[in-house]
Amino acid sequence: MRIIFTGGGTAGHIFPIAAIIDEIKRNHPLESFEFFYVGPKDDFAKEIFNKKGVVVKTIITGKIRRYFSIENIIDILKFPIGIFQAFYYVFVISPDLIFSKGGYGSVPTVICGWLLNVPIFLHESDITPGLANRIASKFALEIFISFSVEKTEYFPTKKVLSIGCPIRSEILNGNKDEAKKIFNLTEEKPVILVLGGSQGAQKINDNLLIILAEILKDFEIIHQTGKNNFEQVKKESEVVLTKELKKYYHPIGFLNEKELSCAYAAANLIISRAGASAIFEIAGVKKPSILIPLSGSAQNHQIKNAYAFGENGAAIVIEEINFKPHFFLERVKYLLSQPFILNKMAKKAEEFSRPYSSKIIAEYIVAYLKQ
């Protein structure tokens, strides 16, 4: 049985696909599956999928921006090329099913799959879908969503199944003792894990650096800076920190699955953007968090995601307009001085979690293919 996965643009598309593939392999080791990924050129995606034995095919794709840009004209011209390439790959591979995670890189493959009469399944992570998934939903047989059906107004309800966002099962099994070894933790202070997504978050990095010396007086920090930001953040931190404080700061460009699972296990509090994958991972590891949604994200989906998670008390939301260094510092100090509130937030995060999403989708795909 052959399955084409498609998506593209961010790690939020890649990691859920990887989680679903892992579940299919884990639960159906004797079945004959061939996995393919068709999407835009992405070295990060290629690295992840190559390790899992997924055949990667690259297509040229264009992104439609909802504001004037000369790049829109260039990208519109790319779209027919991407359609032609996707049609070729779908025709040659002849998949039994196409699973789309959304993103601008998925549209050509979905359209070509529909033209070639291939069943299409779709997953939408965010409360408000992007343009790509709104288009793809017209061709999909089934649409999986992360948040409750009541919060979804863009898809026909007869196609929709609310199951959460697929997360990698490996990250749920972190170990605090291993975290101590990996990050050289002192265990003298509460640990804060700061995440900015796979590419980092410049605003979070900059504001953290302003208060870094102050916050490290009371806390120990594991900081995923983003690969491209790592050297700059490291240099700036070395300037502002004394020798005594440096042992409490642990910057790293990107956390792999093992490192991330252990960082989650060690953390007393998580600071993160509000992509759906990040939110459901935080819920899955049952940790209290402060979410700083990216302003200007498409349809403000991060802000909506954050408040949907925070409305039951699982997280505190600080919008970027209010994300001031010392205001943020005081919120962190207050939270970590209130064990009762932290425990309540952790319980609410657990209530929100859907840790078996990837398994549900995997079983749904397999059952459909076997019918």
Sketch the domain layout of the chain as residue ranges: 2-167+355-370, 170-352
Query: What's the predicted TM-score (pTM) here?
Result: 0.90
Same fold across 2-167+355-370 and 170-352: yes
Count the helix, strand and coil residues of the chain and give each as a percent rounded to the nearest 5.
Answer: 50, 15, 35
Residue 74 pLDDT greater than 80, yes or no:
no
Per-residue pLDDT for 199 more than 60?
no
Confidence of residue 131 (pLDDT cuts 50, 70, 90): confident
Give the CATH superfamily of 2-167+355-370. Answer: Glycogen Phosphorylase B; (3.40.50.2000)
* pLDDT interval class at 71 (50, 70, 90): low
28-55 pLDDT, tens digit each: 988 899 999 999 988 888 999 999 999 9
Residue 3: strand pairing partners:
35, 97
Greater confidence, 72 or 188?
188
What is the CATH T-level fold of the domain 170-352, as seen in this structure?
Rossmann fold (3.40.50)
Residue 164 three-state SS: coil
Q: What is the mean pLDDT of residues 6-19?
A: 85
Answer whether residue 310 shows pLDDT above 60.
Answer: yes
The predicted pLDDT at position 25 comes to: 95
